[in-house]
Structure 1
Amino acid sequence: MNAPHPFIRPAKGPNLKAILGPTNTGKTHYAIERMLAHRSGMIGLPLRLLAREIYQTLCHRAGSEAVALVTGEERIVPDKARYWVATVEAMPTELSVECVVVDEIQTATHLDRGHVFTDRILHSRGTQETLLLGAGTMAPIISALLPDVDIIMRPRFSNLDYVGSKKITRQPRRSAIVAFSANEVYAIAELIRRQRGGAAVVMGALSPRTRNAQVDLYENGDVDFLVATDAIGMGLNLDIHHVAFAADMKFDGKQLRHLTPAELAQIAGRAGRHKRDGTFGITAGIEPFSDEVIEQLETHQFAPVKVLQWRSRDFDLRSLEALRRSLEVPAQHKLLTNIPTAKDQMALEFLQRHPEIGEVKGVEQTSLAWECAQIPDYRSISPAQHGEIIATIFQNLGTRGYIFEDWMDEQVSFCDNSVGDIDTLSNRIKQIRTWTFVANRKNWLKDPTYWREKTSEIENNLSDALHERLTQRFVDRRTSVLLRHLRDKSMTTPEISQSGDVSLEGHKIGSIEGFRFNLTPGEGGDAKNLRTAAGVAIAPEIKKRAEKVADAPNDEFVLATDGLIRWRGEIIADLAQGDDLFRPRAVILADESLNGAELEAVQERVTLWLKHHVNTLLEPLLQMREPTELDGTARGVAYQIAEKLGVLPRQDVAQEVKGLDQDVRGVMRKMGVKFGAYHIYVPLSLKPAPRELALILWALQHGGVRQPGVSELPQVILSGRTSIDVEPSFAKELYEIAGFKVVGQRAVRVDILERLADLIRPLISFDPARNQETEAPEGAAPGNGFRVTVEMTSLLGCAGEEFSSVLKSLGYRVNRTKIEAKAEEATADSAETAAAEPQAETTAPAEENAAPEQAAEATEANAAEVASAEAEEQFDEIWYPGGRNNNRKPNHAKQGAKRPAKGQKRGKPNQGKGPNRHANQNQRPEKKQKPIDPDSPFAALMALKKQ
């Protein structure tokens, strides 16, 4: 068991003061003023971040040549340094200075670092003045440990009030939202970016360079929110109005626990600056603070600290074992307690267990081992991994007196990579901090200056890259710039490009289209404020555009199929249903910045153009609404043509049309009307531009222009197609307005439908008895029927079942007769006849292309195959007008037709089988049979049959 170690009495020093109180009491400011009042001084701070901030303040006040910075990873020591800024662990206690300051002395309760603060409280003294700064909870224990101390309690400059709970996205501007893990910090920052434009991130693990860059985002107003860990509780003086706790539990390295009221106060106290009051609260999702805790935070009254962490500073350096025992000497004071096994002691014990190091003895080697053991584990890796690094460094130093350059270069080069995400860069910064610490040890490297510069450069590069990644991920630059512009009227006005893009300080914030400003996607919860800020800036541009539109010529306006009017390609108005089919209304699409006389001028100009546009494209139809040349029934028919936008189904006005004499019809034809079998229409209005407008006008009266078909059908019209497939989602009326008639499976252009009727009409009216000297036209069939011709299918652009569906829809009926083919009749002539009938399904003979020598060797078996192939089923289709008896005799038989010519047979036409079974033998002279080619397969077939 270790022998009791006598309590080391605190050092004596003149003018020992403890400046205690809550946050925002000006303690640090007071200490700097007192230090600068002396010719030399030293201040120990809890964080490297804070040390860098105070260093920069002192450089500004006393000059950089007079100020030194000493931390684990940085060492800036001018030759004539008089003021020293250091982390508490790195304080050069061997120096004699007039004023010594130790900040945040309540950290003496920290389980891992507390013993260092306790040592400085007890033993660090200035020759003329010593200041201990910290929380009021330290007053009783400091008085007990340091009887000659002068305790000065400083009140808070401003009030701190609890305001309850709010969602993260509802937190007020200039808020710090506090969480206690990197993942929580990142998640909150991402949420704020989406909803409020972005947030700066501050964590203890950040390098000073990254942390300062992030803080600048907040302090400059680029973002209104700060998401941080409890690192902001240590002396960071920021312009924070409100602190919101997103959690009240943290992992302290040992366990997950609730923060004490004093710890909560240290963080909440960052709200409010100097005389401005601050507030604190919680976010939704955590338990509300108790009334007792709230009162403690608001009144800054907390239970006093009862004990400080302590470890002996009297090291026994004779051996590693002796050193370990000296570290474990128990404290001999009731206000001091031994710390748990610290990380440096764990590293020392690892060296003890190392087979090549454990037996090290002597003051020099033991001191070196202890110095190596104090290399911080910035990466928080396992003790064994960290121990291996320390062991390697110790062995390098012990054998050669310095660390091997190649090994050092290998470790450092691994970190020299600025590519990666936030976590990757953060880990590399932690790693390079280890080697920055090593590079700043005295006499550990051959060329320490080179390695300090190299590791510092790598850390700076990584820090800049990390800041960039944090900003990219958690800050919406566009939104933050616009919000700042909204608050700061002195900022430069947005720039507007010729294409209408609006940018502010190089960030695109939106675009102007017509008379409206559109924010780029991602405006989040501040969309209203952003639009307000941008609206003020772009109002003059909107008015300039209004003036240009009011004076614009007609050719600068376009009405598209979506019902939107565009000026120079930009949407300025939408169409709405008017009181009259041909008089739609133009609704100007504009922000509130366009109003008054400018809006009226635009409305008047666009309305005038729209009227001109309709009058120009649909002039023939407008004339038919009030035709001066017509009266009575004709006037009514003309009006209906106009109301149907130029395409009127004939059946709708069949009786009226019958009553029109040829003179009246002639007048209407001069007006552009065509009387068809199925429609009465105006051919000039069937052109693409009038049809597109007609579709829009009809759609405005029947469900709106956004319905299916209004935008699609104009493209079909432009393509020139004569018929198209029917799309079920389109209203049938739309096809008619577009100039098409839905018949069967197809929609056929009305003028094409009339041309089809013109092709069919002479075929079904052909009378062979009256035209004995005239050959029947192609497609004519007995009994006022007709066969489908290639000209018909080519006209419609469809065939087969689709064409059949068109004819059926038009009222025609089909008579379909099977053709019984005979092998011996399968001649070239029959093939020719079949080819002339496109509606018949024909199949080429299987052996038609066979070589003659192959046919000559055919057997009876393959001859049967040939015959079977030639006898495939074929059908003859004859179409008749609806309601007719397809099998009755021709009309002329009932009317006393002329007697057949001499040599012709009496009675019915040939009723035999084959493709010519319905041919009119009276009109077609019998064709001579062509002799069979002796080399053809048919000759071989005939020879076999004769055997």
Structure 2
Amino acid sequence: MSHKGPQSHVRAVLGPTNTGKTHLAIERMCAHSSGAIGFPLRLLAREVYDRVRAIKGDAVTALITGEERIEPPGARYMLCTAEAMPRNGGGHAFVALDEAQIGADRERGHIFTDRLLHARGREETMILGSAPLEPVLRKLVPEAVVEERPRFSTLTHAGAAKLSRLPRRSAIVAFSVEQVYALAEMLRRFRGGAAVVMGALSPETRNRQVELFQSGEVDYIVATDAIGMGLNLDVRHVAFAALSKFDGVRQRRLHPAEMAQIAGRAGRHQTDGSFGTLSGGGGRRGGTPLEFTDEEVFAIEEHRFAPLTQLYWRNAEPRFSSLAVLIGDLEQRPSQPELTAAPQSIDLAVLKRLSDNPDIANGVTTPARVRRFWEACQLPDFRQLGADAHARFVARLWQDLKHDYLGADYVAARIADLDKPDGDIDTLQGRIAAIRSWAYICQRPDWVLARDEMAGRARAVEARLSDALHQRLTERFVNRRTAVLMRGMKDTNLLRVTLDETDRVMVEDHVIGRLDGFRFIVDDSADSEERRLMLAAAEKHMPALLADRAKRLVADELGELTIAKGRVWRGEQAVASIERTRQPSSPRLVLEKDLSALNPADRTALERALEIWFENRLAPLAPLRALEEAAQDEALGSEARALVLTLIERAGVVHREAAGLAVIPKEKRPALRRLGVIIGSLDVYLPALLKPAPRALLRELGVDRRPLNPEMQAVIEGGKQPPAGYRRAGKQAIRVDMAEKLFRAAHEARVKQDKKFFRLEDALPVSMGLLMENYDRLMRDAGFAVRRAKPLEEGVHGAPAPASWSWRPPRKDRHPSAAPAHRGKPRASGKPGGKPGGKPGGKAGGKRPAKPQKPVEPRPENAFAALKGLVR
């Protein structure tokens, strides 16, 4: 099964980390007319792509991975992942495979083994790997010339250390997301924060986190074992938080070669490094002692490990005559003793699961269909959901692929669904994993219409999500203030300490405290460790800060001001009173008598400064000011202006029955809507004035003296008089715009279902916090009636019958002149000739209606008696 094609010079360069193997491969490729290198990580391929592009130029350099494809028409140098590299070398003059020892990995090993056996350059082939690969490599590729390269620097064991005692420029390695987060949180408290690197992060996010560490903004990086795959970091010490991991089958202790791969990240080029473990955890994590044995320390320091004797293999050229033949070829066992059958990877597991589904298998009969189906099953499980969940995703994908291409509209909609940079760290990681799946799909040449456009959209969304995730990680795990103080702790004279306009004391643009008069107060959010650092940093600079403070107090007489109880205050001292004017949004300031002793020039300057400050504070009332301006516009019409004036008087909320809507011409209502006025089912209101800031300001100015709910929640506890902006809903109160949202949803459901009795979902009122009995009473006010099923009897199980709703249009708002003729007059009786106010029988004053009288029988001799028989 070894390579049988044209022979080329095969060179195997083996050695531990920090031996310059990758750098050598780049140099050799650039010396040839063309070349390709396969890497284990997309991140590493991108890093080398940037380096080669700087040497050879953009026009001849390509980056090809599962999710990204940058391939200029004249590209001659390809940097790619092992899965994406040409299986036979692609006819390039130079071909290299990095980290070839991954051929012993359970999940991806067969890919690296296949490239090791078949990927060849016309002129030169280079295989890069660790020393344990040599025995099996000599048997599988006997023509290879093996070179061993020594490590440039020394790696020594430093023993155990507490997290708070780790040296700067350290990397802490953990093997679970929970442990990574816990360690990063502790480092935030002790050392100002840490960068985070995990395999689940997108390459862009990992790049940003690595840059956070490389730039020196943080001195620590917490990572999973993904750090061991070629990331070039300025790490001087590697600390293991655990020495065991789950390998997909069981929890096991790391092999010495795996330990060395990770520990080897310490020390770059000729800078020595060290490795050790974290202490303080009881000496044992997950049943495994958290310390290296003497044998492991010796193996890591001397780079001596047990040799690899077998690599995983899977048939890379299966037949596609049928699904059964394909599965049989993929499960074929190798004939060479140095190769062993690869464990069932997720692509094969998905293939077998979907092949057992008759609805799918019956449509996969031709060789072309079988090949295309196998390509769909090879979609990577970026979301790490497992074979069952991933098989369902592939099955849905196949429903479109089996016929033709995926439509551009469909793909664009799926990408747009994921373009949401909000949410926490886990949510963003899930979206990035999902968008990586679509990025992979969009890179396939025969899967998606408008492939280039869709691939560009997917990359753009991944970049936005990566930026958001980097921001969340930095916000959670980096305390820049502590990090800055730690870096300047040895010499505080090097720190830049300033006082800003709000009396905050800043160290390197990070707040450490404030000045209260001439007294320094440490920032309240600082813990005990930070307080000590802040005081040390501020002590040497305090005299200059206090001198600056004295100068500013002369120029700024009043300091910080607030508005409360109809006045402007400086602390507990009143500075000015607020007088209402004809326009509630533009009150007037009147200085207190205590400031009357100022000379005219200073008093004028102070008044002008206060007016500018006060005008800025009134910004939340801009919607009310727009109403006041509209009330002066005669083109609006007297009827609409009357409603506007009522809204101004009642601070933006009027009950519908008091709004006088009946007299407002319909052609004037669009003008009201342009002003932001909403005419609801029960209320007329201005939504912009229902926010916390304007409501609180209106109350402090004295414009609205009604009760206030500071946060303006959707639903609050009710009372006899609900707060401003609310209406009663049973025993609760609901904000009028939230009530209108419920009414609108009910009307939409009524129109959509088009029935006398219709159904409503209770999710919306429940999400607002509205109890069902109060919800029913609120809806009744708007003309809706509900019939709910009785609770199930004891012992009876099941879901209760859904509620049914009906709506009866309430009496329309009427113009006074349109009142019926009987308004204000007693009604006539129901009997012709009846007296006003009387009963149907003509009797007045009775409460009960008269019983119907039996018809009088005609006498036999009467002329009408003969007609009785003719009446039916």
Query: TM-score, normalising length from structure 1?
Result: 0.55
Partner Cα distance (1:197, 1:475) in 2: 6
Q: 1:195, 1:523 within 8 Å by CA — same for their partners in 2?
A: no
Aligned match of 1:442: 445
Aligned match of 1:66: 60
Q: 1:222, 1:484 within 8 Å by CA — same for their partners in 2?
A: no
Q: Secondary structure at the match of 1:250?
A: strand
* Aligned pairs (5 A) from 1:622-637: none
Distance 1:51 1:358, change over 3 A: same
Larger deviation, residues 446-455 vs 303-312 = 446-455
* Aligned pairs (5 A) from 1:212-251: 212-251=207-246
Q: 1:479, 1:523 within 8 Å by CA — same for their partners in 2?
A: no
Partner Cα distance (1:488, 1:394) in 2: 64
Partner Cα distance (2:428, 2:394) in 1: 23
Q: 1:249, 1:256 within 8 Å by CA — same for their partners in 2?
A: yes
Kindly indicate whether residue 44 of structure 2 is the aligned counterpart of residue 40 of structure 1.
no
Kindly indicate whether residue 88 of structure 2 is the aligned counterpart of residue 84 of structure 1.
no
Q: Secondary structure at the match of 2:266?
A: coil
Match of 2:415 among 404, 409, 412: 412
Partner Cα distance (2:474, 2:109) in 1: 35
Distance 1:534 1:212, change over 3 A: farther
Q: 2:495, 2:537 within 8 Å by CA — same for their partners in 1?
A: no
Aligned match of 1:574: none
Q: Secondary structure at the match of 1:356?
A: helix
Kindly indicate whether residue 21 of structure 2 is the aligned counterpart of residue 27 of structure 1.
yes
Residue deviations 1:565-622 (CA, integer Å, cap 9, x gap): xxx99xxxxxxxxxxxxxxxxxxxxxxxxxxxxxxxxxxxxxxxxxxxxxxxxxxxxx
Match of 2:275 among 263, 271, 280: 280
Q: Secondary structure at the match of 2:146?
A: strand
Q: 1:110, 1:309 within 8 Å by CA — same for their partners in 2?
A: yes
Aligned match of 1:320: 323
Rg (Cα) greater in structure = 1
Partner Cα distance (1:99, 1:492) in 2: 52
Partner Cα distance (2:32, 2:491) in 1: 42
Residue deviations 1:654-677 (CA, integer Å, cap 9, x gap): xxxxxxxxxxxxxxxxxxxxxxxx
Shift of the alpha carbon at 1:16? 0.9
Shift of the alpha carbon at 1:486? 5.4
Q: Secondary structure at the match of 1:503?
A: strand
Kindly indicate whether residue 259 of structure 2 is the aligned counterpart of residue 256 of structure 1.
no
Distance 1:491 1:99, change over 3 A: farther
Q: Secondary structure at the match of 2:11?
A: strand
Residue deviations 1:240-259 (CA, integer Å, cap 9, x gap): 01100001111122221111
Residue deviations 1:484-528 (CA, integer Å, cap 9, x gap): 455899988333224431224543233355365735633564655
Aligned match of 1:121: 116
Partner Cα distance (2:441, 2:469) in 1: 23
Kindly indicate whether residue 391 of structure 2 is the aligned counterpart of residue 387 of structure 1.
yes
* 1:389 counterpart letter in structure 2: F
Aligned match of 1:769: none
Aligned match of 1:303: 306
Partner Cα distance (2:200, 2:319) in 1: 34
Q: 2:170, 2:239 within 8 Å by CA — same for their partners in 1?
A: yes
Q: What percent identity do the matched residue pairs reach?
A: 45
Q: 1:161, 1:298 within 8 Å by CA — same for their partners in 2?
A: yes
RMSD in angstroms over aligned alpha carbons?
Answer: 2.7
Aligned match of 1:373: 377
Q: 1:272, 1:279 within 8 Å by CA — same for their partners in 2?
A: yes
Match of 2:482 among 476, 479, 483: 479
Q: Secondary structure at the match of 2:359?
A: coil
Shift of the alpha carbon at 1:353? 1.5
Kindly indicate whether residue 357 of structure 2 is the aligned counterpart of residue 362 of structure 1.
no
Distance 1:499 1:462, change over 3 A: closer
Residue deviations 1:852-886 (CA, integer Å, cap 9, x gap): xxxxxxxxxxxxxxxxxxxxxxxxxxxxxxxxxxx
Q: 1:106, 1:138 within 8 Å by CA — same for their partners in 2?
A: yes
Aligned match of 1:628: none
Aligned match of 2:46: 52
Shift of the alpha carbon at 1:59? 1.7
Residue deviations 1:268-325 (CA, integer Å, cap 9, x gap): 0101111111111100224211111111111111111111000112211111111111
Aligned match of 2:689: none
Q: Secondary structure at the match of 2:270?
A: coil
Shift of the alpha carbon at 1:394? 2.4
Larger deviation, residues 129-138 vs 523-532 = 523-532
Distance 1:382 1:233, change over 3 A: closer
* Aligned pairs (5 A) from 1:492-507: 493-507=496-510
Shift of the alpha carbon at 1:178? 0.4
Unmatched tracts of structure 2, length 5 or more = 285-289, 559-569, 572-872
Q: 2:2, 2:118 within 8 Å by CA — same for their partners in 1?
A: no
Distance 1:532 1:489, change over 3 A: closer
Q: Secondary structure at the match of 1:97?
A: coil
Q: Secondary structure at the match of 1:89?
A: coil
Q: 1:23, 1:270 within 8 Å by CA — same for their partners in 2?
A: yes
Shift of the alpha carbon at 1:14? 2.0
Q: Secondary structure at the match of 1:119?
A: helix
Aligned match of 1:294: 297
Partner Cα distance (2:164, 2:471) in 1: 24
Kindly indicate whether residue 180 of structure 2 is the aligned counterpart of residue 178 of structure 1.
no
* 2:476 counterpart letter in structure 1: R
* Aligned pairs (5 A) from 1:706-745: none
Distance 1:170 1:527, change over 3 A: farther
Kindly indicate whether residue 130 of structure 2 is the aligned counterpart of residue 135 of structure 1.
yes
Partner Cα distance (2:335, 2:493) in 1: 65
Match of 2:161 among 142, 166, 189: 166
Partner Cα distance (2:56, 2:112) in 1: 27
* Aligned pairs (5 A) from 1:277-676: 277-284=272-279, 285=281, 286=284, 287-359=290-362, 360-399=364-403, 401-485=404-488, 493-512=496-515, 514=518, 516=520, 518=522, 521-522=525-526, 525=529, 528-529=532-533, 531-535=535-539, 538=541, 541-542=544-545, 544=547
Partner Cα distance (1:290, 1:201) in 2: 28
- Aligned residues, how many? 547
Shift of the alpha carbon at 1:441? 0.5
Partner Cα distance (2:96, 2:174) in 1: 30
Aligned match of 1:75: 69
Shift of the alpha carbon at 1:480? 2.2
* 1:473 counterpart letter in structure 2: R
Partner Cα distance (1:12, 1:71) in 2: 27
Q: Secondary structure at the match of 1:90?
A: coil
Distance 1:453 1:172, change over 3 A: same
Partner Cα distance (1:39, 1:420) in 2: 48
Unmatched tracts of structure 1, length 5 or more = 1-6, 557-567, 570-947
Aligned match of 2:847: none
* 2:197 counterpart letter in structure 1: V
Q: 1:396, 1:403 within 8 Å by CA — same for their partners in 2?
A: yes
Q: 1:18, 1:133 within 8 Å by CA — same for their partners in 2?
A: yes
Partner Cα distance (2:528, 2:229) in 1: 33
* 2:20 counterpart letter in structure 1: G
Match of 1:188 among 183, 204, 228: 183
Q: Secondary structure at the match of 1:152?
A: strand
Q: 2:492, 2:537 within 8 Å by CA — same for their partners in 1?
A: no
Kindly indicate whether residue 192 of structure 2 is the aligned counterpart of residue 197 of structure 1.
yes
